[in-house]
Each structure stands twice: as structure tokens, then as C-alpha cells.
Amino acid sequence: MIRISVDAMGGDYGPDITIAGAAIAQKKIPNIHQIFYGIAEVVEPVLKKYPELAAVSTFVPTETYTRMDEKPSQALRNGRGKSSMWYAVEAVKNGEADACVSAGNTGALMAMSYFCLRMMAEAERPGIAGVWPTLRGESIVLDIGASIGASADHLVDLAVMGAGMYRALYHTQCPTIGLLNVGVEEVKGLDEVKQAGLMLREVHLEGLEYKGFVEGNDIGNGTVDVVVTEGFSGNIALKAAEGTARQMAKILRDAMKKSIFSRLGYIFSRGAFRQLKQKMDPGRVNGGVLLGLNGVVIKSHGGTDADGFASAIRVGYEMVNNRLLETIAHDLRDFHQKKPVLLKQENNTALNI
Amino acid sequence: MIRISVDAMGGDYGPDITIAGAAIAQKKIPNIHQIFYGIAEVVEPVLKKYPELAAVSTFVPTETYTRMDEKPSQALRNGRGKSSMWYAVEAVKNGEADACVSAGNTGALMAMSYFCLRMMAEAERPGIAGVWPTLRGESIVLDIGASIGASADHLVDLAVMGAGMYRALYHTQCPTIGLLNVGVEEVKGLDEVKQAGLMLREVHLEGLEYKGFVEGNDIGNGTVDVVVTEGFSGNIALKAAEGTARQMAKILRDAMKKSIFSRLGYIFSRGAFRQLKQKMDPGRVNGGVLLGLNGVVIKSHGGTDADGFASAIRVGYEMVNNRLLETIAHDLRDFHQKKPVLLKQENNTALNI
């Protein structure tokens, strides 16, 4: 039995989506026990609509909840020991839950998780990994915004953590890894990225296959399973891609409405549009994973639907079921043990670390 | 009469596209004189097909040309004083041309332009500005890869140069400017970005209206006229967006072929797809502008068609006709003169510059 703590108040629609999503997840993954945290007057009426779910889960009333627009420091101040998000995270710390899922405020969730769960001994800084729909299926991109800037070491840590998450989610033995970089040869990227590439090439890490640098367009092509970058460019890439997808959808939708012919065309080709929507839908595998912490915390999109929230719960389940934390801790130790060998070989000059 | 030097060998298809594009441009903008540089045996046969263009333009044979896969340093070594790209750039330096247009290797064009034309006194580092199709029309995004990382000063320089280019291209008096940043409140972006924001807010520059931070999805929405970022994240954002657009187009195309219904749907809604293609087509306003140099250099997409190349020539024409260089030099001087006032006001503490 895997126990999931759910911030029932999180997201743009609160329990209407989170509880509905939890009900879907409960049917698909019967061996989970879900613990819901939230304001009693808000959550209980919704939970009553799902008697099967209510029968096998626990509800814990909380005093308050974390607003979507609170700053992380505010949220921590206002929510500590009080809000549904805080309790959901703390349940993981206290061993009452194996994973926490929230569709709430990302910054607040990050801050509470960091504050409450602390970094695992092997990782220096956290990362957020997102699942990106590609032409080849799905890739994992990280960091998409947990921190800004990254040393070569942190980039390799991200590669190791991303590979562990990919293995847990897709059951691939040795996912391929690419470092996000720019295409101009001479100035081939940041020093940190070059150094991280050198390390990934020289230190043979089990459980991942380093493929070299990739560029922005490789993400959507699915050139590699895991794309590694620091949080600033990762966040910008993610949002630029999401923006482009919405932009194209809007242009097409508007154009389709313009003439009777194109309206007719839309009717005939609805199946094709459904496929597009399904393939590009970030909710299909909805669930950013907070990595590097002593606990599994899943961030669902705030605007997700019930299916998307169920998917985030499934991601949490997979991470626990496939022992993500142990894997990552083991692999990070492996990297940090092997690294000094490289430094010695390179006579301390090639790598400025 | 505005004189444009054209690297006729540049791009994926060489003169077949560049000369065809030049012919289109010559018809649309009669008061230009084009000078073509390239291998005689390759360019002359194509030029013969456009007798009207040949009659009003000049062809200068060159010994060699710069390959698309040469590294910038190689290209400079191999091409200096020899290649069509070199000659096209040098023509601007020598005052034989007012602007140079090439669809060749970006890194090589950047290196040759930097080496040959040098930075203008007012600018410290170069930038490449691209035109981005948005829901509102077009925006300019810079830097998309001329250099990596940027100080607060350089970001403001980019804002000033981007605003100048926007005014020259779209004849808007006071374009809006946004600094690309990430959404997490607490760690609201790089220090340099925050400082640049402070400067843009405090120093009242004529000819631009600073709107604050924007995120990746704001680019496609057209939230501001000019989006400013350093070259690493700019390049990644651009390529991530281009990748997403191609990915969606491919998924839709494949899905449309799958059933007889969707094929029929495609036929009916062809007009809508044409609109999408036209609106998202980077070739519609094709022409990255190299900024900060003592000369106007336009980089066309390598894989552009003749219309796209003609559009790059038009961009070069507009930049010269609207005195881009004088404008930028004036505005940069203005910023650098006003900046010390801010430093004094802020008692040298708020800005770490």
C-alpha cells in the first residue's frame, strides 16, 4: 500500500478537480491510500459525491490553505502548521505519507518542501523536472524553475536525478541524456555546460547514456529522453513552447471559424485535432517532480482537469513504487565518488570545480 | 539609392534562392542597388535568368565561399579576403554598400562582421535580433545567440538597440519593452535582469516604454514589442518555440492523412491552414539583424525561400533608410550619459555595476 498525501485545496479549482482526480486515480491504482488535507466545509461536500473514494481514504481538516498568488515566504509564514499544503508536505516528513501531490502555488510548494523535507545528503540544490510531449513520446526536462544558474556539478546532479525519474516513470534501463546548449560552435555555451559535458562523458555513470549537447528544437523532437539545463533557461524554454502551442491553436481555431468551408473541414477532421490535442496536452502526463529532497513531492499543473490530477497522483505512485529516492541517492553517491578520479586524471586543470 | 551587398552563395540553396529573392526585392524596392558576391560559375548562370535584375545590379566574382558547417574561426581563416561572405561584409566597411545580407553560416557571419566592422563606440557587445510572429503581429526578440550571458548594462543596451530596430521596421514611435524572466516570485530571475529592470525603470529613455518582466509565453502572445534577454536563453527560447511549431505541424499533418474524413476535412479547411502557415512563418519577416556593429548586417534564415530572402533584403533596406545606426548610437549615448545620474541617486548601492 502506497500512501499519498493530497493538498485538496490546491489548483485553480480546488477540491472539484483534486477530489475528482483522486477518485479516478483510486480506481486505476487500487493499492494506494490517499490522505486529503483541506478546509472541512469545502472538501467534505465534494468528498461526499465520491463515497467509494471516501470509504478507502482519510480526510484531515486544516485551518487554512495556501493561495495561488502568495509569495513563497508569505505562504511559509501564513501556512506553516496551518495550511493544507503544509500538512500534505509534512505528512511525507513524518512518515505518514510516501508522496505528496499538490496543484497549488509552485513557489510555495517548493519553499515548504525545501523547508520541511530538506535536501538529501547527496544533492546540493533542488530541481523541478517536467514531462514534455515530443514527437517520439515524452521526455523529461529539468530544471524548469527550482533555481537559477547551475554549476557543472549541479548540472550532472540534475542529469542523474532526471535519469532516475525517467527510469521510474518509463521503466527504461538506460535513458539518453542531453545537455541543453546553443548552436554557435565557437562559443558553444556556458562554461558550466561544457564542464558538465566533459564530466558526463568521462565519468561512466550507470543508468544513463550521455548523448552530448542538444538545442532548443531537440526538446520537441524527442532527440533524448532527458534534457538537462539550469532553471532559468529551462523555465523560459518550457513557457516559450507552451506559448507557441497555445498561439498556434488559437490561430487555427480562429481561422477555422472564418468560412463555412473551414467549419465543415473542422467537422471532418475533428479526429485529427483530437489527436493533436491529446499528443500536445501537458496534462497527459501531468506532474512536475521536485527532486533532490528527502521525500517525493509532485507538482500538478494548477489549471489541470481531473484526469490530469489523477495523472499527477500516478506519477507520485510510480516514483515511490520504483524507489526513486533510493535510486537517486545511490546514483548521486556514485557520481560524487567517481568524480575525484576524473579530477586526478585531468590534473585538476581541465575542470574548474 | 541604397546599396545592398549580397552574399549570393549563402544559405542552404545558394544563388537559386538568393538571386531569385534579390529579383523579388528589386521589383518591390526599385531604389536599391544590389552587389552580388560569389563564385562566377555558380552565380552567373542563375543571374542570366533574371536579366532585369542583372541590368541594374553588380556582380563581383570571388575565389571561394563560406560553408554552412565551418566553425567561425575556420571561416575567418579560410574566408578572409576570399569568400563571398567576407566580401559582402567588407563592402559595408569600405563604404561600397550600406547593408550586407547573407543567408550563410551565422557564426561565421557574426565573426566576420565583428572582425571587419568592429563594435560601435557606444556598444560593448553585439547582439542578434530576430523577428518573432505573435498573436498580436510581430515582436523583436534579442539577443538570440550573439553572445552568452549579459550584464545589466548589456541588457539595457540590447533594449535600446531592439527599440531602435523596432522603430525602424514598424515606424512605431515608442515600442514597449519587456525583460525576459522566470515566474517564481522569490527568486525572480538573475541579478543582472533585476538590475537592468531597475535601470530601465529609473532612467527615462526616449523611444521606448519599459513594461517590466515578461515570461516565455508572453513572447508568442505579443505582450510587448521587444523582448530582451541574454543570448543563451534567447537562443533556447527561439529554438524551443520553432521546435514546438514544427512538432505541432507534423502531428497535425500525420493525423490529417490517417482517415478519408480527415483528408476531406483538410481540403475544406485548407484556407485556415494557409493562414496558420502564413502567420507562423518565420520567413514572413525573415532577417535577424546584427546589432552594435559599425554597419548593418542582416542574417537571413539558411533554409529560407526566395520570398523570405527578399524579406531579409527589405529588412536591410529599412534599417538603412530609417538610419538605424545613427538612432542606436544616439540612444546608447543617451543611456550611458543618464546612467551615472541614477548611480549617484542610488548612492552606488542599489546597482552593482
Q: Is the Cβ pair B269, A273 closer than 8 Å? A: no
Distance from CA of A49 to the nearest CA of B (A): 35
Are both A3 and A15 inside the same structural domain? Answer: yes
Task: Tell me how close the Cα of A29 comes to any Cα of chain B, in angstroms.
Answer: 31
Query: Which of B109, B115, B247, B264 to mutate against chain A (most A CBs within 10 Å)?
Result: B247
Cβ–Cβ contact A149 with B under 8 A: yes
Do the strands A176-180 and B209-214 form a parallel or antiparallel pair, or are they unpaired?
Answer: unpaired
Q: Is A135 helix (H, G, I), strand (E, B) or coil?
A: coil
**What phi and psi, each to the nearest 5 degrees, are found at residue B244?**
-65, -40
- What CATH number is associated with residue B52? 3.40.718.10
Q: Identify the burial level of B341 via C-beta atoms within 10 angstroms of its C-beta, where 0-12 means exposed, 13-18 middle and 19 or more buried.
A: exposed
Residue A342: per-residue pLDDT: 56
* Among B107, B236, B256, beta carbon nearest to A233: B236
Cell numbers that stand for B175 in this block: 515600442
Distance from CA of B57 to the nearest CA of A (A): 33
Residue at grid coordinates 469545502: A42
Distance separating alpha carbons of residues B314 and B321, to the nearest angstrom = 10
Give the structural domain span for A31.
1-118+293-322
Asked if A241 lies within 8 A of B240 by C-beta distance, the reply is: yes
CB contact under 8 A, B148 and A73: no
A-chain residues near B241 (CB < 8 A): 216, 240-241, 243-244
Whether A97 and A163 map to the same domain: the answer is: no
Q: In chain A, what residues touch B240 (CB-CB under 8 Å)? A: 216-217, 219-220, 237-238, 240-241, 244
B232 and B316 in a single domain? The answer is: no
**Helical axes B260-268 vs A260-268, angle rounded to 10°:** 160
| Chain A touched by B21 (CB under 8 Å) | no
What local confidence, expressed as pLDDT, does residue A53 receive? 97
Check whether residue B135 and residue B69 sit in a common domain. no
Contact A271 B261 (CB under 8 A): yes
pLDDT per residue as tens digits for the range A305-315: 999 999 999 99
Q: Are residues B73 and B167 in the same domain?
A: no
| Cα B141 to Cα B219: distance, rounded to the nearest angstrom | 8
Q: A219 by DSSP, 3-state: which?
A: helix
Q: Is the pLDDT of residue A346 over 70?
A: no
More confident residue, A96 or B147: A96
Taking alpha carbons only, the member of A278, A298, A335, A318 closest to residue A130 is A298
Between these two residues, A189 and A94, which has the higher pLDDT value? A94
Q: How far is CA A38 from CA A43, A107, A111, A337, B174, in A?
A: 6, 19, 19, 43, 49
Q: What residues of chain B lie within 8 A of the CB of A187, using their CB?
A: 147-148
A339 and A297 in one domain?
Answer: no
- CB atoms B276 and A258 under 8 Å: no
Q: How many CA atoms lie within 13 A of A277 on its CB side?
A: 10
Concatenate the DSSP letters of all residues of A287-338 into one string: -EEEESBSSEEEE--TT--HHHHHHHHHHHHHHHHTTHHHHHHHHHHHHHHH
Q: Indicate the number of domains in chain A.
A: 2
Distance between B146 CA and the closest CA of chain A, angstroms: 8
Quote the pLDDT of residue A258: 78
CA-CA distance, A5 to A22, in Å (whole number)? 11
A301 lies in the same domain as A279: no
Would an 8 Å CB–CB cutoff place A150 in contact with chain B? no
Contact B145 A183 (CB under 8 A): yes
pTM across the whole model: 0.88
Residues A215 and A172 reside in one and the same domain: yes
At B174, list the grid cell. Answer: 515608442
Q: What is the pLDDT along chain B (353 residues), one digit of tens a residue?
A: 999 999 999 999 999 999 999 999 999 999 999 999 999 999 999 999 999 999 999 999 999 999 998 988 899 999 999 999 999 999 999 999 999 999 999 989 999 999 999 999 989 899 999 998 898 889 999 999 888 889 999 999 999 999 999 999 998 999 999 999 986 454 567 889 999 999 999 888 889 999 999 999 999 999 999 999 999 999 999 889 888 888 888 888 888 787 887 777 778 777 777 777 777 765 566 789 999 999 999 999 888 899 999 999 999 999 999 999 999 999 999 998 887 665 544 433 333 22
Distance in angstroms between the alpha carbons of the first and the last residue of chain B: 43
- Which B residues, 249 through 308, put their C-beta within 8 Å of a C-beta on chain A? 250-252, 255-256, 258-259, 261-262, 264-273, 275-276, 279-280
Instruction: Answer whether A240 sits within 8 Å of B189, measured CB to CB.
Output: no
Determine the Cα angle at B129 with ends A239 and A213, to 5°: 55
A163 and A112 share one domain:
no
- A52-66 pLDDT, tens digit per residue, is 999 999 999 999 999
Alpha-carbon distance B39 to nearest alpha carbon in chain A (angstroms): 26
* Cβ contact A272–B252 (<8 Å): yes
* Cross-chain residue pair B71–A187, CB shorter than 8 Å: no
Residues 91-130 (B) with a CB less than 8 A from some CB of A:
106-107, 110-111
Hey, are the CB atoms on B232 and A233 less than 8 Å from each other? Answer: yes
Cell numbers found for residue A97: 505519507
What local confidence, expressed as pLDDT, does residue B249 receive?
84
Distance from CA of B254 to the nearest CA of A (A): 8
Shared-domain flag, residues A4 and A140: no
Assess whether B8 and B133 both reside in one domain. Answer: no
| Beta carbons of B217 and A242 less than 8 Å apart | yes
Residues 161-220 of B with CB under 8 A from A: 180, 182-187, 189-190, 215-220
* CA-only gyration radius of chain A, Å: 21
Of the partner residues A106, A221, A275, the one whose CB lies closest to the CB of residue B243: A221
What percent of chain A lies above the pLDDT cut of 90?
65
**Which of A147, A240, A265 is the closest to B216 by Cβ?**
A240
* Whole-number percent of chain A with pLDDT over 70: 93
Mean pLDDT for chain A? 89
Q: In B, which residues are within 8 Å of A215 by CB distance?
A: 235-236, 239
Cell of B214: 515578461
- Would you say A142 and A161 are in contact if contact means Cβ atoms under 8 Å apart? yes
Co-location of B134 and B23 in the same domain:
no
